[in-house]
């Protein structure tokens, strides 16, 4: 599994960008167990572009998005914290399938 995490400034806000590329065997395993990836929503920026704050997404959905997952936060620190949390969940899942 290839994971890319990045933080980008968007005016007064900060975007966490996550992309995941899965191998065919890893993608096949999602049919048996598709983990729900979650992040804190306390500081998620909400406006007319994003009227509903989302705090989780299935790994298959993150991996299936050509532009990856993009979550916009009101500050840099919350974006970095969410990146650490998401990164840990993804690497834990990857380690779990390697040991299986």
**Can you give the C-alpha Rg of the chain in angstroms?**
14
Q: Which tokens hold the place of 33?
A: 């167990």
Query: What was the pLDDT predicted at 51?
Result: 61
Q: Is the pLDDT at 98 greater than 70, yes or no?
A: no
Structure confidence at residue 100 (pLDDT): 53
Number of structural domains (the chain) is: 1
Q: How far is CA 66 from the centre of its chain?
A: 13
Q: Supply the range of the domain harboring residue 27.
A: 2-99
pLDDT for residue 99 is more than 90: no
Q: What is the pTM of this model?
A: 0.88
**DSSP 8-state class, residue 42:** T
Q: Count the Cβ atoms, other than its own, within 10 Å of residue 57.
A: 17
Looking at residue 94, its pLDDT comes to: 84
Each residue's pLDDT tens digit, 43-96: 999 876 666 788 999 999 999 999 999 999 999 999 999 999 999 999 998 876
Mean pLDDT of 29-51: 86
Residue 31 has pLDDT above 60, yes or no: yes
């Amino acid at each position: 599994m290839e994971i890319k995490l990045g933080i980008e400034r968007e005016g007064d806000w900060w975007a966490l960008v996550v992309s995941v590329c899965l191998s065919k065997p890893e993608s096949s395993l999602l049919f048996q167990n598709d983990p729900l990836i979650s992040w804190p929503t306390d500081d998620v920026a909400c406006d007319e572009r994003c009227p509903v704050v989302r705090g989780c997404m299935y790994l298959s959905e993150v991996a299936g998005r050509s532009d990856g997952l993009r979550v916009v936060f009101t500050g840099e620190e919350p974006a970095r914290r969410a990146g650490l949390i998401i990164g840990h969940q993804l690497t834990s899942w990857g380690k779990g399938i390697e040991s299986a």
